[in-house]
Structure 1
Amino acid sequence: MMLEEQKLGKLKQLLIYLMDHNAFYKSIQNNLQFDIHNDDIQEIYNKLPIVTKQDIINNPDIFFSETIKGEEIFEERTSGSTGNVLKCYKTNTERTLLALNIWKQRRKFDPMVNISNYYNLFNNEMEEIIGKFYNVDDKMVIRNFYRLMAVQPRWIAGPISLLSKFAILINEEKINYKNDGTLKFIEFHGENVDEKSRKFIEETFQCKTINNYGTSETWCIALDCDNQKLHIQDYIIADSKKDGEEDKLLITSLINKYMPIVKYANGDCGKPIEKDCDCHNNNSVIWLKGGRETDYITGTSVLGNYLFDEILWQAFERFGSVVHEYQVFQQELKKFEFIIAKGNHYSEDVTQFLHSRILQELGADNQVNFSFVDHVKALSNGKLKKFHPYKN
């Protein structure tokens, strides 16, 4: 793929930095024998290897760059739609640049939105207002909705599954809601956005919606324009490779230096496409096949993906990076199979912890069996369907 001209210079600066400060990329330069200062950057890019989550997990000692003394490092988390568990790290500078970018985009849509009237339902801080959103029992959702509306949000960001639940309860008149003009935008991220659900939410909330496609590794990759086309961000290079008949996305972030994201296979199927758009954004549009989906645990009001993600990250906080991939099958109403691709430091203590936490959340009368594999099989769109509910 020919890279956009305006991004080649920034890519060169990034690669020069990595060749000087990152052991992983120093070794690549030595192996490929290129001159980062004088060789054609497009040709160098073409030679660079594709990097996966597993590459990062397997090379923690050499993958992270040297940092400026005193630079604060932040840990973020993703199990990702591919089910492959990864801790993400960014410097304070990188997080600031990424945050400034997305806020600049939001302010183009709504100049009055700011951190005091913007509420992201994914943030841990939101638990104090809305609780853990994987529990979508009607009474809990209604209570949490009123708590959320009490702070008078101008802009709400969250998964379409939860926002659809709000909209359904409003239409069933179980929630009393009328937009008084305060709520201006709903921003979707973390899940696949289908047009019917999107229109339903817009009509119910009487506000506009925007789709934010991104990952924990890079934050925003592409954002909707007024024509609902996902335009690639200025600091992102989006590429793709053929894997059989599928196009697999390769993402490069021109901001991430500490944990570099270069020709990174994020597990999603899609590709950048040149598409004229009268919104006057000249950046390419990203086409995605499928997306992230969420299912209820049959017989409960609990969203399976979110519950098991939360429990898994509690295990990470206690034991470290002990799971590479996972998948849960609900075999009967109260019977589950938890499939795990073990990390290097997995132990029986982890199994006992996971088992205990699942029973705490779902009830002691549930049965959980564990099995272990080398890899968990993904769907045809590159996603790993992490939770499979029981079908009556």
Structure 2
Amino acid sequence: MYNKLIVSGYKFLGTFSEFDAWDKFQFLLDNQYKSREEIEKIQWKKIKKLLIHSYENVPLYKEKWNRAKIKPEDIQKPSDMLILPITTKNELKENFPDKCLAKNIAKKNCSLVQSSGTTGKPLAIYIDFAGYNLQYADLLYSYYLDGWQLGDKIATVRNKAHGDYKGKFAKDGLNSEPYSLIRDIVYLFCHRKILLSPVENGTFIEEVKLKSITEKLLNHKPQLLEGNPVYWEILANYFLKENISINGIRAIEVDETPVTNKIREKLKKAFKANVFDCYGSHELGIVSHECETHQGNHILPFSNYVEFIKDNKPAKSGELANLVVTSLTNYATPLIRYDTGDLARKIENNCSCKRKFSLMSHVEGRSDDAIYVDGKLYTTFFFLDYFQSIKEISFFQLLKSQNDIYILNLVKNSDIPESIEQKIKNDLEKILNKKMTIIYIKEIMTEASGKIRWIKNSI
């Protein structure tokens, strides 16, 4: 009964305000089972409209494309997108806001969004209110894939710079959002969301705080847990150790960092719920999300055009590639062929859930954090998977200096036999083709953004 009342309230908001995310969410539901051809036709129409708008109104793109002697009419089919130059984070940072903001959209009709800045200075862009509504509809769709319904309770934890915390834990990386009053009402009554305090400094959380978090969850009784998987893993370890159980959790939606199958199984065991991967960013919104079959992440095609690029050309299905995304939601600061810096794989197969939205793998890490040895690439996911098989290790961080000197920081949860330590050293030195020093520390510290980098290059 409560859920039905909440749905009626959501529709009411769309009728009497510009907050029309509900209608856009319904559009996703209505089109998810259409043929791939029908979906791509809708997507291509949106791409063409965005390209014309960007050329006519955004100096950055007009100048870039003029230098390359390209005009929107030259892009007649999806494969033609390859002739458009890639847009990098540095370009956007250097040209923001003067050359990035569309001249036909006023700042007052936009929301300022900043990335978390995990690997450097945060990226700032504007998103127009219509784009914000589209991204919010994508959020509702991601919850729908989790099995969540309006009115179900949520417990959320984010990195400390996330806009949800409104500057309580960090001043950098904050987002200004439209409809802030409406959002607060929606969070309270529709999402019934509680925000748990983030991992502020590192991976060590005192037991008194773990008890406090547990008490909040027991009182709130959420159906959905969402957010930082590092946080949920720390809490899962505590639940398993203390034999704690919370009834009613149906799903755990994880984002921000790669999640291995071993971490999934731990979360599933501790919280007795399925784990769903969600991929997105502050600047793009949600790009893809896993469904109930867990055969890959469905790309949200009416908000994103995703390319998998390897060596400056389309990657084959299953190849690890750079994710290049064109956002179809944002007309204020368009992101066209935007190099996300993330690594993932294209999945060619259709999903057995019968939805026709294309599939991609989970993200395996950032290209900046990958380690290249003799032409082979080792991602964050590779090292996470390796260390998850060693029960004596809680967390790790691999540091690589500009002089190719490797330091491995390890957080142990029990004494490590000398034979295990030697095996770790031998295994990684063989992979890296370099000598390595192991240091034991209390915790892995967070970056200024509140995120944790498991691999840090060029320290």
**TM-score, normalised to structure 1's length?**
0.69
Once the two structures are superposed, the pairs formed by residues 130-145 of structure 1 within 5 Å of their partners are 130-134=196-200, 135=202, 136-139=204-207, 140-145=209-214
Pick one of 274, 279, 289 that aligns with 2:348.
274
SS at match of 2:448: helix
For 1:78, the equivalent position in structure 2 comes to: 116
In 2, are the aligned partners of 1:113 and 1:155 still within 8 Å (CA)? no
More moved, 8-17 vs 101-110: 101-110
In 2, are the aligned partners of 1:129 and 1:148 still within 8 Å (CA)? no
Q: In 2, Cα distance between the equivalents of 1:271 and 1:46? A: 18
Per-residue Cα deviation, 1:242-276 (whole angstroms, up to 9, x for no partner)? 23996222111111222221111111122423112
Pick one of 290, 295, 315 that aligns with 2:364.
290
Q: In 2, Cα distance between the equivalents of 1:151 and 1:238? A: 38
2:230 matched to 1:188?
no
In 1, are the aligned partners of 2:146 and 2:253 still within 8 Å (CA)? no
Q: In 2, Cα distance between the equivalents of 1:13 and 1:57? A: 25
For 2:330, the equivalent position in structure 1 comes to: 256
For 1:241, the equivalent position in structure 2 comes to: 309
- Cα offset, 1:109, TM superposition: 3.9
More moved, 35-44 vs 98-107: 35-44
Per-residue Cα deviation, 1:161-220 (whole angstroms, up to 9, x for no partner)? 1111111111111xx632322x22111000101111111211211122211011222121
Q: Which 5+ residue runs of structure 2 have no aligned equivalent? A: 1-36, 159-163, 170-193, 313-318, 367-379, 381-394, 398-408, 412-439
- Cα offset, 1:92, TM superposition: 2.8
For 1:373, the equivalent position in structure 2 comes to: none
- Cα offset, 1:119, TM superposition: 2.9
Q: 1:214–1:263: structure 2 CA closer, same or farther, 3 Å change rule?
A: same
SS at match of 2:341: strand
Q: 1:84–1:280: structure 2 CA closer, same or farther, 3 Å change rule?
A: farther
2:96 matched to 1:22?
no
Pick one of 95, 102, 105 that aligns with 1:59.
95
2:236 matched to 1:167?
yes
In 1, are the aligned partners of 2:157 and 2:198 still within 8 Å (CA)? no
Pick one of 217, 221, 227 that aligns with 2:287.
221
In 2, are the aligned partners of 1:88 and 1:216 still within 8 Å (CA)? no
SS at match of 1:78: coil
SS at match of 1:220: strand
2:124 matched to 1:124?
no
Letter in 2 for 1:46: L
Matched length:
312
- Cα offset, 1:387, TM superposition: 8.6
Q: In 1, Cα distance between the equivalents of 2:198 and 2:363? A: 29
Q: In 2, Cα distance between the equivalents of 1:93 and 1:23? A: 21
Q: Which 5+ residue runs of structure 1 have no aligned equivalent? A: 312-327, 329-382
Q: 1:286–1:49: structure 2 CA closer, same or farther, 3 Å change rule?
A: same
Once the two structures are superposed, the pairs formed by residues 193-212 of structure 1 within 5 Å of their partners are 193-212=259-278
Q: In 1, Cα distance between the equivalents of 2:79 and 2:265? A: 44
Q: 1:387–1:172: structure 2 CA closer, same or farther, 3 Å change rule?
A: farther
Identity %: 20
Letter in 2 for 1:76: Q
In 1, are the aligned partners of 2:228 and 2:256 still within 8 Å (CA)? yes
Q: 1:64–1:44: structure 2 CA closer, same or farther, 3 Å change rule?
A: farther
In 2, are the aligned partners of 1:239 and 1:271 still within 8 Å (CA)? no
For 2:244, the equivalent position in structure 1 comes to: 177
Letter in 2 for 1:45: M
Letter in 2 for 1:49: P
More moved, 97-106 vs 7-16: 97-106
Q: In 1, Cα distance between the equivalents of 2:237 and 2:458? A: 23
Q: In 2, Cα distance between the equivalents of 1:27 and 1:252? A: 18
Q: In 2, Cα distance between the equivalents of 1:214 and 1:291? A: 13
Q: 1:22–1:388: structure 2 CA closer, same or farther, 3 Å change rule?
A: closer
SS at match of 1:276: coil
2:83 matched to 1:47?
yes
Q: 1:271–1:73: structure 2 CA closer, same or farther, 3 Å change rule?
A: same
2:124 matched to 1:87?
yes
SS at match of 2:115: strand
Letter in 1 for 2:76: D
Letter in 2 for 1:17: H
Q: In 2, Cα distance between the equivalents of 1:50 and 1:384? A: 27
Q: 1:162–1:295: structure 2 CA closer, same or farther, 3 Å change rule?
A: farther
